[in-house]
């Protein structure tokens, strides 16, 4: 799916995401939330990010329209009608560390964008499976890398992880790796992801976060060192782990 223009096509039910830091050289890591229905299969919404970090929208007549300059990759909602993205400062260049970014939600049919957060380093948006809420990462809000949630209208902004903790606390929950895949389970209440390793060349952690119906965190824990985690049809998690220079596949049950 990765290509030079970071093209993102989403039928209803597709979600795709990209690291802000790697936007120039990488394309979009896909996260599927279920295939499109027969009704919606012929109504494809197309938004894409260019290598110069322009966000573009293609209308029903096939014409491209500039949505915004200096953005992260668009993440399409499960219903296929909206796309969340991070707007970077005008001076941002591909590969720069993201120190400031606001979240927007684009109505892909009308082309209108609505700002939902402002004034911090909000990035890496992920839609919840019901499309009601956007999860995102921020450090500058509290000084601790944390997950947050917000509705598409900017209301009900809530910190989900690391409330009142530091990165040195045993209760600290690491964020997903920038540009990594966040994958929901079949019941759409649990996510699995891989963190960034603190040492170059080593595996990060495979982490689980379970949410309640309001998308508050019910539990969070680690499955151990690893990478490339994904769910199986059996409800287990499969991931890779480096053991003594040899890559092995691990399958773990989730309580």
Q: What is the pLDDT along the chain (255 residues), one digit of tens a residue?
A: 222 233 343 333 333 333 343 333 333 333 333 333 333 334 467 899 998 889 999 988 889 999 999 998 899 999 989 999 999 988 877 777 778 999 999 998 888 999 999 999 999 999 999 999 999 999 999 999 999 999 999 999 999 999 999 999 999 999 999 888 999 999 999 999 999 976 766 889 999 999 999 999 999 999 999 999 999 999 999 999 988 889 999 999 998
By DSSP bridging, strand 146-151 and strand 158-159 are antiparallel
Burial of 28 (0-12, 13-18, 19+ CB in 10 A): buried
42/198 Cα distance (integer angstroms): 45
Residue keyed to tokens 């890496």: 124
Give the residue among 67, 50, 47 at the shortest CA–CA distance from 4. 50
Its pTM stands at 0.80
Fold of 1-175: Lipocalin (2.40.128)
Tell me the CB-side half-sphere exposure of residue 207, using CA atoms within 13 A. Answer: 22
In 88-189, where do the E strands start and end? 102-107, 113-115, 123-127, 133-138, 146-151, 158-159, 183-184
Which residue intervals of the chain bear CATH 2.40.128?
1-175
């Amino acid at each position: 799916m990765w290509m030079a223009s970071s093209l993102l096509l989403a039928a209803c039910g597709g979600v795709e995401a990209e690291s802000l830091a790697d936007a120039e050289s990488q394309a979009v890591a896909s996260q599927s939330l279920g295939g499109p229905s027969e009704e919606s299969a012929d109504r494809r919404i197309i938004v894409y990010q260019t290598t110069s970090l322009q966000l573009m929208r293609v209308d029903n007549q096939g014409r491209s329209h500039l949505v915004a300059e200096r953005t992260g990759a668009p993440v399409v909602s499960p219903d296929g009608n909206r796309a969340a993205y991070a707007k970077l400062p005008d001076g941002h260049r591909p590969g720069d560390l993201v120190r400031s970014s606001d979240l927007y939600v684009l109505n892909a049919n009308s082309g209108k964008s609505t700002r939902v957060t402002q004034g911090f380093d909000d990035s890496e948006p992920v839609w919840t499976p019901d499309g009601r809420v956007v999860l995102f990462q921020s450090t500058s809000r509290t000084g601790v890398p944390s997950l947050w949630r917000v509705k598409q209208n900017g209301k009900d902004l809530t910190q989900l992880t690391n409330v009142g903790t530091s990165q040195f606390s045993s209760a600290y929950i690491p964020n997903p790796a920038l540009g990594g895949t966040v994958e929901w389970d079949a019941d759409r209440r649990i996510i699995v992801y891989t963190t960034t390793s603190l040492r170059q060349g080593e595996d990060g952690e495979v982490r689980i976060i379970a949410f309640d119906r309001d998308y508050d965190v019910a539990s969070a824990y680690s499955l151990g060192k690893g990478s490339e985690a994904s769910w199986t049809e059996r409800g287990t998690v499969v991931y890779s782990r480096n053991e003594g220079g040899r890559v092995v596949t691990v399958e773990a049950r989730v309580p």
